[in-house]
Amino acid sequence: MKKFIFSLVMLALIGTACQNSQVKNETAAQESLEVKMDEIALVSIADFDSLAGNYVGKQVKLEGTIDHICRHGGQRAFVVIPESGARVKITPDETIAAFNTELEGNQIVLIGLVEEQRIDEAYIKEWEEEIKAGAVKTDDKGEGSHLGGNVEKGGEGADLAEEMEKVNNLRQELLDSGSDHLSFYSVKCSSYEVVESTENDEEGDEN
């Protein structure tokens, strides 16, 4: 009988130890994520285009509102801040795979790798030839290419006159820059958190 009671006590102690260990591991993981987020530079969306060149190939933290998510597979989204016309293109990495369209309108904090796409005269000329041929290339989702910011290369059904206007504007921008290329920046998102709205919290307190 004593052996039986001793066995029950030991099992209870082991179970408690396992639960405590699980809680500690979960707490440590959360603290590790918070430390990681604190160590990564927070870049304002309003200043992103001017600062992104300093962070190419590095991780940054952005905070803003999901303005739009592409409907074909959720492979592209745009983050904005209400007080600025600036927006940043974000794409999901392999761990996220795709953005859920339900995220639209939500404020988020995200971490991701800054990527650069360079547009030179060769790229512009190729785009121009596609337009003249009446066949603007699409990506594997049937969409055009978002170059970053507000520049978008149209996909199927694109207005060719509008496409040519984009080409002309890019070419002029390239000439004005005095450089051999234009840089468009985006962020490959590796993690994000939805920020709860303070307005909703206040309404909830009033009720």
pLDDT, tens digit, for every residue of 67-85? 999 988 899 999 999 888 8
- Residue range 23-32, pLDDT digits in tens: 555 555 455 4
What's the Cα-to-Cα distance from 70 to each of 35, 37, 124, 127, 142, rounded to whole Å? 32, 27, 24, 22, 11
The model's pTM: 0.70
The percent of residues in the chain predicted with pLDDT above 70, rounded, is: 65
pLDDT, tens only, 100-154: 999 999 999 999 999 999 999 999 999 999 888 876 655 544 455 556 554 666 6
Average pLDDT over residues 162-166: 91
pLDDT band at 157 (very low <50, low <70, confident <90, very high): low
Its sign, for the CA torsion 151, 155, 159, 161, is: positive
Per-residue pLDDT at 160: 84
